[in-house]
Structure 1
Amino acid sequence: MKRITRKEDLTSLLLQYKQEGKRIGLVPTMGALHQGHLSLVQQSLKYTDVTVASIFVNPTQFNNKTDLLKYPKPIAEDIAKLEQAGCHILFHPEVDEMYPEVDEPWEYEVGELDLLLEGEFRPGHYKGVTQIVYKLFKTAIPDVAFFGQKDYQQFLVIKKMVNDLHLPIQLKSCDIIREADGLAMSSRNIHLNPEERLAALSLSKALLFIKDNYNLLSIDELKQQANKFFTGSNLLNLEYLRICNPDNLYDLQEKGPAIALIACFVGTTRLIDNMMLA
C-alpha cells in the first residue's frame, strides 16, 4: 500500500491510473477504523480498479472542540488494517496540507438539510463536511466514492453537493455494520465503559422495535413506545428519535418509505444510528 501525504502527489499518481483506463474508488474516513470502514474498502475493491482510503480528522466539522481533541487517532493500527484489507493507497495529510493559510473561502450552502436533525444539534457541521469532502474529491478525482449508511444524513448532504456542483462522481451508500449484539460500529464506541456499552444497545433496540412494528402501530405510537428504551437510565440522554421520509428527512406524515434516526449521548459519548423501515 502506498502512503501519500501531499495533495499534488496523490492527484498526479491517480491521473496516471486514469490515463490507463482505471477506475478510482475513494473511501473518506477520519481514521480509528473498524469493520464498517473496512467494508467500504471491500466494496471499492469490488467495483473499482484502484482504491484510495483517506484518513483526516477534519477540524472544520467539529462544533465542539473537546470532541475534536478526544477523537481517537490510532494511525499505526489503521495502516495495518488497510494493508490487510488490500487497500492500494492511503492518503493521510496534515491539517495545513488540506487547509493552507491562503485558502479560498467555502461558500457552498447546504440548504434545508443543514437545519434538520444533525444540522439542528450540530450547527455548522455540514458546512465543514462538504468543504473537506469537496477537497478530497478534487484531490483524489474518484469515479466512485463510498460512504456508510450510519451517517445517512451526511450521505444526503454530499449527494446534494455532487448534484449542485455537477461533479462527475458516483456515490455508493453501504450497509451499516453492527456488532453481534446490534450496536452500530463507530469510532466513538472506544470511549464507552462496560456499563455505557450495555446502555448503548438502547439505540439499536429502539430502531428494531420501530422496524418490527412499523405496520402495526401508528407513527406517534411507534415514537412513544421507542422513547421508552431511553427512560430509566441516567447514562442515556436522547437528543432525537425521528421517523422520516428517506429522501428529504422531513417528519413522516403517513406510512410509506421511511427511515428511523436516533442521536443519543451515552455518558459523554454521542452516538447516532438509523434503520430503513420500508
Structure 2
Amino acid sequence: MKVFRDQASLVEYIAQLKKENKTIGFAPTMGALHQGHMSLYSIAKKENDIIVASVFVNPTQFNNLEDLEKYPRTEENDLLLLENIGVDIAYLPRIQDIYPTETKSKSYDFGGIENEMEGAARPGHFDGVGTVVSELLRQVQPDNAYFGEKDFQQLAIIRKLVEIKNLKVNIHGAPIFRAENGLALSSRNARLTEKEKEEALILYQTLSQVKEWFPTMDYAEIKEKVAQIFENTPYELEYFLIADEKTLKELEEKSPEAHYRAFLVVWISGVRLIDNMAC
C-alpha cells in the first residue's frame, strides 16, 4: 500500500494510473476506522482496479470545537486496517492540501435537503462536507466513490453535490454495518466504554420498534412512544423523526409511492450517536 501525505505526489501518481486506464474506487473517511469502513473497501475492491482511502478529520464540519478536539485519531491502526483489507493508496492530506488559503467552507445550495435534520441541528455542517468531499474528489479523480448509509443525509448531500458540479463519478451507498447485537459501527463508539456500548443499543432497539409500529400506527403516536422510551433514561434524545428518503422532509401524510426512513440522534455520556432505519 502506498501512503501519500501531500496533494502534489498523490495527483501525480493518480495521473499515471489514469494513463494506464485503471478504474479507481474511493471512500473518504475521518479516520478511527472500523469494520463499517472496511465494508466499503470490500465492496469497492469488487468493482475497481485501484482502491483509494483518505483519512482527514475535516474541521469545517464540526460545530463544536470540543467535539473536534475529542474526535478519535488512530493513524497507526487505520493504516494497518487499510493495508490488511487490500487498499492500494492511503491519502492523509495536510490541512493546506484541502484548504490552501484559509480553513473555511464554501457555501452550497443543495436544494433544501441541507436544512433538514442534521442541517437544522448543525448549521453549516453540510457546507463543510461539500467542501472537503468536492476537493477530495477533484484530487483523487475516482470512477466510483462509496459512502455508508449510516450518514444517510450526508449520502444524499454528496449525490446532490455531484449533480450540481457535474462531476464524473458514480456515488454508491452501502448498507449500515452493524455489530451482531445491532449496534451501528461508528468512529465515535471509540469514546464509549463497553458498558456504554451496550447502553447504546437503545438506538437500534428503538428504531426496530419504530419499524414494527410504522405500518399500522399514527406518526404522532410513534413520536410520543419514542419520547417515552427516553423519558426515564440518562440519555438525551436530541431528535427523532421519520422522513421521506428522497426529500428528507419530515412525514406529514403517508404516501404509498414514497419510501420512509426513521432517524434518531441520542447523546450517551457526552457522545453524540446517530442511526437510521428504513421503515
TM interval, short-chain normalised: over 0.9
Equivalent positions of 1:118-267 (< 5 A) are 118-234=118-234, 236-252=235-251, 253-256=253-256, 257-267=259-269
Q: Distance in 2 between matches of 1:103 and 1:69?
A: 16
2:109 partner SS: coil
Deviation for aligned residue 1:228: 2.8
Structure 1 spans left out of the alignment, 5+ residues:
none
SS of corresponding position for 1:52: strand
Residues 260 and 103 of structure 1, relative CA distance in 2, 3 Å threshold: closer
Instruction: Give the distance between the partners of 2:191 and 2:48, measured in 1 at CA.
Output: 34
Q: CA deviation at 1:161?
A: 0.9
Identity of aligned residues (%): 38
Query: How far apart are 1:258 and its partner, in Å?
Result: 0.5
CA distance in 1, matches of 2:255, 2:221: 13
Question: Given residue 264 of structure 1, which amino acid in structure 2 is its aligned partner?
Answer: V
Shift of 1:122: 0.7
Cα offset for 1:200? 1.2
Report the alpha carbon displacement of residue 193 of structure 1 after superposing the two structures with TM: 2.5
CA drift at 1:102:
6.4
Structure 1 residue 221 displacement after superposition: 2.3
Per the alignment, in what secondary structure is the counterpart of residue 275 of structure 2? strand
Looking at structure 2, the residues matched to 28 and 194 of structure 1 have their Cα atoms a distance apart, in angstroms, of 27
Q: Is the contact made by 2:239 and 2:266 (CA closer than 8 Å) also made in structure 1? A: yes
Normalised to the residue count of structure 2, the TM-score between the two structures is 0.95
CA drift of 1:104 comes to 9.2
Q: Specify every segment of 5 or more residues in structure 2 that has no aligned partner in the other structure, as ranges.
A: none
Are the aligned partners of 2:105 and 2:128 in contact in 1 as well (CA < 8 Å)?
Answer: no
TM-fit CA distance, 1:49:
0.9
Q: Deviations over 1:226-259 (max 9, x none)?
A: 333322112x111111111000111122154110
Counterpart-to-counterpart distance in 1, 2:96 and 2:118 = 27
Q: Report if aligned partners of 2:60, 2:105 keep a CA contact under 8 Å in 1.
A: no
CA 220–255 in structure 1, closer or farther in 2 if over 3 Å, else same: farther
Determine the C-alpha separation between the residues in 2 that align with 1:147 and 1:86. Answer: 18
Superposed CA RMSD = 1.6
Report if aligned partners of 1:110, 1:127 keep a CA contact under 8 Å in 2.
no
Specify the SS of the correspondent of 1:27: strand
Equivalent residue of 1:32, what SS?
A: coil
Figure out how many residues of one structure are paired with residues of the other and give that number: 276
Q: How far apart, CA to CA, are the structure 2 residues paired with 1:219 and 1:178?
A: 26
Q: Alignment partner of 2:53: what SS?
A: strand
Segments of 4+ in structure 1 off by > 4 A? 102-105
Closer, same or farther: CA 102–123 of 1 in aligned 2, 3 Å: closer
Change (3 A) 1:255 1:219: farther
Alpha-carbon separation, structure 1, partners of 2:240 and 2:105: 34
**CA contact 1:8–1:139 (8 Å) conserved in 2:** no
8 Å CA contact retained: 1:150, 1:274: yes
Matched-pair contact (CA < 8 Å) for 1:206–1:227 = no
